[in-house]
Structure 1
Amino acid sequence: MLRAGGITAAAIFIPGCMREAAAPVSVAQKAPPPVAPGPAPVPAQPAPPPRIAGVSQSLVERAVAARDKYGDRLRQRDKVAIVDFSHPSYRSRLALVDLANGRVDKLLVAHGIGSDPGHTAFLQRFSNENGSEATCEGAFIATDYYIGQHDRSQRLVGLDPTNSNAMARAIVIHGAWYANKDMLSAHGKLGRSQGCFAVGEAELQRVFDHLGEGALVYAAKG
């Protein structure tokens, strides 16, 4: 009987052990450690305006800002003309600038009678008014060429409120005898225009070649 009871007990015990052995073992799953975020991308900064030898940095910066502002209206962006009317007419104050390589070619340029009534050689004031015969300031686009009162000329479109009447006033680039270099030896200064950007007759083609059609001209006091 004991043997039989032992067998019976074993029979009862063994199935229980089998059930325990068959039970799945639960293994706790650890979450992966959080990934630290990388540094935020640094936005690209525009290149600073170049330094152009002999040209006011303030004017260069204003000209570059105008080029960027009106860039969708310009046919080419690297070649600009910068006119610094803080200098007298006996100084080479028209700078033909290549912003890509820093090259500059400086020429004489006349200002308007209405900007210097006393013919002092210094521009006294700018004006955008019709009939003022004064030079106007701001950003222009040099556009098409034509033959007019002053022979070969290039029209200018004013882009700012300070020169918005440039087309209506026929403010253009042209050559003139009173802007030739020999005026300096004879009179110590250039003659005056009616508001146009008048350059020496022999220098006009250099201006045309530099600007082409669709370049920026920027005129102000530095």
Structure 2
Amino acid sequence: MLRLGAAGAGGLLLTSAGRSTELPLGKPSPFAMGSDPLRPGTAPAIMPAPSAPAGINPALFQRAKAALDARPFIRQRDFIGIADFGIGSGDPRFHVVHLPSGQVETFRVAHGSGSDPAHTGFLDHFSNRPGSEATSNGAYMTADTYHGKYGLSMKVHGLDWTNNNAMARAIVIHNAWYAEPDMVAQHGKLGRSQGCFAFSRADQWKVMNRLGGGRLIYADKLA
């Protein structure tokens, strides 16, 4: 059985064939000195820019962090997964963030065929409808593992109205032949899933070990 948790199969020593950075969380920009909207002739205050670990859309990171903060029942709060579906499937776009250090690993992940009917490699839209074979956006919590069509896989609970059919639709984390690196080498993009988070075999193992045990995944497209 796969042993999940912060100390399991990787702990805090994160290595990957995917893109990896090890930078602390960015610091917000300072406020403008001497600005006071109540005094005439003073410049307006400059609001701090959103901060995020390197390589992650700051606005998307803030949404993911807010989703975690709003759910105190999620007890495992060391790692968080962020899927940026504003990026094409040929590029790494699934970020696994170690929140205490800001260290990031990034992997390629497939999206659903219903979200990309022309198979452009870019997600066009989300759907939570059963039978849509589309990707759903929102917050997820990882659940049990099981052996299925693609071997060892991990279930996820959809926590928002935009993805609350995840269990009924059998949306899971699994590996797939169409998510292997040679697909990008041949076609410039990954194949499509039926709405699941599909990774290469090597990357799926790393993602499940970091995010298993009831951790949060946040998926969205802001661009």
Considering the TM-score relative to the shorter chain, is it more than 0.5? Answer: yes
The structural deviation recorded for 1:202 is 1.6
Q: 1:85 is matched with which residue?
A: 85
Q: How many residues align?
A: 174
Instruction: Give me the identity figure in percent.
Output: 52
Q: 1:187 is matched with which residue?
A: 187
The structural deviation recorded for 1:59 is 1.0
**Cα–Cα, structure 1 residues 49 and 151, in superposed 2: closer, same or farther, change >3 Å?**
farther
DSSP 3-state at the match of 1:62: helix
Q: 2:72 is matched with which residue?
A: 71
Partner Cα separation in structure 1 for residue 201 and residue 78 of structure 2:
25
The structural deviation recorded for 1:50 is 5.2
Q: 1:106 is matched with which residue?
A: 106
Amino acid at match of 2:143: T
Does the CA-based 8 Å contact 1:150-1:174 persist in structure 2?
yes
Amino acid at match of 2:52: R
Gaps of 5+ in 1: 1-47
The structural deviation recorded for 1:201 is 1.1
Q: 1:27 is matched with which residue?
A: none
RMSD: 1.3
Q: 1:129 is matched with which residue?
A: 129
Does the CA-based 8 Å contact 1:95-1:106 persist in structure 2?
yes
The structural deviation recorded for 1:212 is 2.0
Gaps of 5+ in 2: 1-48
DSSP 3-state at the match of 1:130: coil
Partner Cα separation in structure 1 for residue 52 and residue 116 of structure 2:
30
Q: 2:38 is matched with which residue?
A: none
More helix as a share of residues = 1
The structural deviation recorded for 1:115 is 0.2
Partner Cα separation in structure 2 for residue 208 and residue 52 of structure 1:
21
DSSP 3-state at the match of 1:106: strand
Q: 1:208 is matched with which residue?
A: 208
Q: Which has the larger radius of gyration?
A: 1
DSSP 3-state at the match of 1:71: coil
Partner Cα separation in structure 2 for residue 191 and residue 83 of structure 1:
17
The structural deviation recorded for 1:203 is 1.2
- 2:166 counterpart of 1:166: yes
Tell which has more relative contact order, 1 or 2 (C-alpha 8 A, sep 6+): 2
Per the normalisation by structure 1, the TM-score is: 0.76
The structural deviation recorded for 1:209 is 1.2
